[in-house]
């Protein structure tokens, strides 16, 4: 164990990354340790404590999956059943996909649905109207052929939960998960959040100044994929439940032990992904220094969350931060420090190969999806990539999206000519891969489970 305490490390690292407010928790050796530092907001600063609410963003998907698995355990939902059994009105761009896509395809991101958020208003029928719009979404891969991270898929899971329970999604999660587990500082609705201490997100401008990130939450139609605000204390309680046998701390059964374990077993493999080696049900699975871990991370507008558990060591770490772009590397630094100092596990990024001009020529160019562009060029003997939100997406946004990241350095990895790792900036350590067609030409690139298709060069 390092002579530096968790509190010391959290304070020093949050200052290094200039994060206004952070909350970190560790469950180790049967004890809970919390370290909080900084303030909720640069405009209205209140001290962050273990009950301060942060947006969990995509960590919400783990709660959505667990809620769905309660219905599976009760025999009300079947994982391999077609989604149309529960949402008969479902329409997609491809009718065969709409007819065949299963509940499990949604849970493990193999539906082929694009990631894109679809705006709805805040009514109780937000998810119903979301489903009515989902036929607009592009299908980016044939059903079941690849993992493609999809917000839309989890929002469909939320609608299944509504249809089966007869409750709104947030009511169902509260009754099936929050209340039985005593998660008293976890909420969806702004009306519940605003009466408690909560952190706001911050975005760093071009001059380095932090400003409040607006809007503060996603629309209600995206709640199943990203909508929970929670505290570090509740997240540690949540982690202990998933490390346990399916009972709450009061002894009441919430999930059978076998179902809880099923969520941590691989359902689809991941390639060259910093998300993990495989995906379970609501968890990304990854071996760290030879030890199995399960986790999920989340990115909101200026807020970031990371939750990792190590089942065989009865260990968990959660890190919450409220500034972009450096909340991601802060959370990653905390998780790695905790793994090494509490468990002796070292999590290292693979080393890229030296610059290769011939391979660079194969991949250089512009790629895009519906939301962003992905451009690869070189600076001297360095590979560089730039990811930008499309101008038309910015123009259509109700609120200004965060500033684009500065270009990143990256390198190709040994052993497979199409895999790469980012080596600078806020996304350091993110991995991905290039895709090829039958003629072996590079036609796409994958980053964090999102696919970008190559833009053909037009000759003048």
SS3 content of the chain, % helix, strand, coil (to 5): 30, 25, 45
Across the range 8-36, mean pLDDT stands at 97
Residue 173 has pLDDT above 70, yes or no: yes
Question: What does the alpha-carbon distance between residue 71 and residue 161 come to, in Å, rounded to a whole number?
Answer: 8
- In this model, does residue 120 exceed pLDDT 70? no
Among 441, 438, 439, residue whose Cα is nearest residue 418: 441
Cis peptide before 215 (omega within 30 of 0): yes
The most confident of the ranges 1-10, 152-161, 403-412, 426-435 is 152-161
Q: CB neighbours of 403 closer than 8 A, spacing ≥ 6?
A: 203, 204, 205, 206
Domain layout of the chain by residue ranges: 21-348, 357-454
Nearest CA to 386 out of 413, 361, 422, 415 is that of 422
Burial of 349 (0-12, 13-18, 19+ CB in 10 A): middle
- 21-348 domain in CATH 3.40.710.10? yes
Please work out, in degrees rounded to the nearest 5, the angle formed at the alpha carbon of residue 394 by the alpha carbons of 229 and 211: 50
For 74, list phi and psi in degrees, rounded to 5. Answer: -85, 5
Residue 448, pLDDT above cutoff 90: no
Q: What is the rounded distance in angstroms from the CA atom of residue 299 to the CA atom of residue 315?
A: 23
Q: What is the mean pLDDT of residues 306-327?
A: 97
Buried b (16+ CB within 10 A) or exposed e, 239-273: bbbbbbebbbeeeeebbeeebbebbbeebbebebb
C-alpha 77: how far from chain center: 25
Radius of gyration from C-alpha coordinates of the chain: 21
Q: What is the DSSP string of 158-181?
A: HHHHHHHHSS-HHHHHIIIIIHHH
Q: What is the mean pLDDT of residues 92-116?
A: 93
> What is the DSSP code (8-state) at residue 247?
B
Alpha carbons 190 and 16: distance in angstroms, whole number: 31
Q: What is the pTM of this model?
A: 0.91
Burial of 340 (0-12, 13-18, 19+ CB in 10 A): middle
- Please report the pLDDT score of residue 172 as a whole number: 98
**Residue written as tokens 């783990």?**
62
Fold match, 21-348 / 357-454: no
Q: Which of 121, 111, 188 is nearest to 152 (CA)?
A: 111
Most confident among 106-120, 233-247, 353-367 (mean pLDDT) = 233-247
H or E element that contains 222 = none
Identify the three-state secondary structure at position 339: helix
Q: CATH class for domain 357-454? A: mainly beta
Nearest Cα residue to 451 out of 438, 432, 424: 432
User: Which residues in 14-55 belong to E strands, given as ranges?
Assistant: 21-28, 31-38, 54-55
Least confident of 394-398, 437-441, 446-450: 394-398
pLDDT bucket at 403, cuts 50 / 70 / 90? confident
pLDDT confidence bin for 48, thresholds 50/70/90: very high
CB 161 within 8 A of CB 183: no
What is the reported pLDDT for 399? Answer: 60
CA angle in degrees (0–180, nearest 5) for 401-402-403: 120
- Average pLDDT in the 55-74 region? 97
Q: Report the range of poorest mean pLDDT among 38-47, 211-220, 334-343.
A: 211-220
Cα 81 to the center of its chain, rounded Å: 25
């Amino acid at each position: 164990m390092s002579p530096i305490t968790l509190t010391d490390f959290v304070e020093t690292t949050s200052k290094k990354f200039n994060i206004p407010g952070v909350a970190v928790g560790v469950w180790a050796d049967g004890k809970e340790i919390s370290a909080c530092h900084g303030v909720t907001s640069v405009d209205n600063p209140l001290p962050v404590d273990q009950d301060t609410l942060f947006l969990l963003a995509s960590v919400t998907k783990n709660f959505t999956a667990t809620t769905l698995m309660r219905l599976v355990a009760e025999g009300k939902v079947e994982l391999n059943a077609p989604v149309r059994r529960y949402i008969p009105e479902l329409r997609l761009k491809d009718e065969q996909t709409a007819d065949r896509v299963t509940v499990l395809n949604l849970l493990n991101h193999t539906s082929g649905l694009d990631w894109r958020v679809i705006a709805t208003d805040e009514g109780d029928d937000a998810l119903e109207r979301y489903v009515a719009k989902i036929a607009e979404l592009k299908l980016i891969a044939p059903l079941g052929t690849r993992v493609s991270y999809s917000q839309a898929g989890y929002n469909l899971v939320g609608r299944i939960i509504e249809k089966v329970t007869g409750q709104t999604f947030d009511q169902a999660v509260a009754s099936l998960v929050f209340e039985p587990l005593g998660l008293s500082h976890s909420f969806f609705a702004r009306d519940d959040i605003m009466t408690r201490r909560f952190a706001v997100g911050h975005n760093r401008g071009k001059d380095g100044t932090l400003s409040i990130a607006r809007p503060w939450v996603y629309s209600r139609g995206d709640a199943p994929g990203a909508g929970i605000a929670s505290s570090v204390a509740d997240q540690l309680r949540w982690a202990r439940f998933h490390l346990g046998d399916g009972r709450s701390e009061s002894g009441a059964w919430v999930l059978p032990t076998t179902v809880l374990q099923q969520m941590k077993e691989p359902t689809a493999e991941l390639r060259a992904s910093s998300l993990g080696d495989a995906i379970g049900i609501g968890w990304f699975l990854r071996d760290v220094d030879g030890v199995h871990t399960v986790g999920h991370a989340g990115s909101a507008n200026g807020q970031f969350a990371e939750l990792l558990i190590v089942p065989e060591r009865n260990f968990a770490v959660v890190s919450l931060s409220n500034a972009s772009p450096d909340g991601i590397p802060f959370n990653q630094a905390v998780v790695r420090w905790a793994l090494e100092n509490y468990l002796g596990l070292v999590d290292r990024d693979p080393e890229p190969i030296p610059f290769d001009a011939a391979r660079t020529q194969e991949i250089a160019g512009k790629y895009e999806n519906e939301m962003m562009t992905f451009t690869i060029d070189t600076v001297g003997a360095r590979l560089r990539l730039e990811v930008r939100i499309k101008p038309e997406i910015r123009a259509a946004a109700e609120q200004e999206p965060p500033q684009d990241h500065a270009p990143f350095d990256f390198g190709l990895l040994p052993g497979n000519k199409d895999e790469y790792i980012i080596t600078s900036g806020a996304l350091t350590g993110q991995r991905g891969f290039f895709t090829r067609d039958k003629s072996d030409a590079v036609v796409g690139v994958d980053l964090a489970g999102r696919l970008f298709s190559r833009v053909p060069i037009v000759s003048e």
